[in-house]
Amino acid sequence: MSKSQQAGWHGPIMDFVEEDKSLVRKALESFISDAGKSQIRAWRDSIPMLQRVLKIMKTINEGAGVIVDDGTLLEYKLPMEGGRRPDVLVLENGVVVVLEFKGKDNWDISDVDQAIGYKRDLENYHSICQEEQHPVHAILVMTRREEAYIQKDGIYISGPEELPELLASLTQDSNYPPLDAEHFLKGEYLPLPSLIKAAKLHFLHSDLPSIRRASANTDPAYNRAQEIINNSHKTGRRKLILLSGVPGSGKTLVGIRLSYESEFSKLATTRIIPRSNGEFQELKPPNASIFLSGNGPLVAVLKNALGRGSNQFIQDVRKYVQHHESGEKRVPLHHVIIFDEAQRAWDRDKVERRHKGAVEGSEPDMFIGMANRIPEWGAVVGLIGTGQEIHDGEESGLQQWVDAIENIEGIDNWDIHAPPGIIEQIQTRDIQSYSEPLLTLNATIRTHFGEMLHHWVDGVLGHVDTPYQDLVELYKKLKDSGFKIYFTSNLRKAKMYLWNRYEKSPDARYGMICSSRDKSLGTYGMKTLSWPKTLNYGRWYNEDQSHSDSCCALDLAVTEFDSQGLELDFTIVGWGNDFILEKGEWNNDRARNYAHTSDIKDAFTLRRNAYRVLLTRARDGMILYLPTNDLLEETRQHLIRCGLEDLNDVDSQQ
Q: Where are the domains of the chain?
A: 9-185, 193-441, 455-651
At 482, the pLDDT band (50, 70, 90 cuts) reads: confident
**Bridge partners of residue 141, in order along the sequence:** 101, 158
At 263, the pLDDT band (50, 70, 90 cuts) reads: confident
At 390, the pLDDT band (50, 70, 90 cuts) reads: very low
* pLDDT higher at 329 or 1: 329
Mean pLDDT value of segment 427-436? 90
Mean pLDDT value of segment 450-467? 74
Asked if pLDDT for residue 434 goes beyond 60, the answer is yes
Which range (23-37, 144-158, 191-205, 486-500) has the least confidence?
A: 191-205
- 42, 59, 121, 202 from 164: Cα distances, Å: 20, 9, 25, 46
Asked if pLDDT for residue 546 goes beyond 60, the answer is yes
Under CATH, which architecture does the 455-651 domain have? 3-Layer(aba) Sandwich (3.40)
At 235, the pLDDT band (50, 70, 90 cuts) reads: very high
Q: What is the DSSP letter of 591?
A: S
At 593, the pLDDT band (50, 70, 90 cuts) reads: confident
Q: In what order do the strands lie in the sheet with 568-574?
A: 557-558, 510-514, 568-574, 618-625, 484-488, 645-646
At 16, the pLDDT band (50, 70, 90 cuts) reads: very high
Phi, psi of 440 (to 5 degrees): -140, 140
Do 193-441 and 455-651 fold alike per CATH?
A: yes
Most confident of 318-332, 434-448, 594-608: 318-332
* pLDDT higher at 79 or 16: 16
Give pLDDT, residue 252. Answer: 79
CATH topology of domain 193-441: Rossmann fold (3.40.50)
455 alpha-carbon distance from chain centroid: 23
Give pLDDT, residue 308. Answer: 55
Dmax over CA atoms of the chain, in Å, equals 81
Give pLDDT, residue 449. Answer: 24
Which range (121-135, 285-299, 607-621) has the least confidence?
A: 285-299
Q: Flag whether the pTM goes above 0.85.
A: no
Helices (H) and strands (E) in the chain, counts: 24, 25
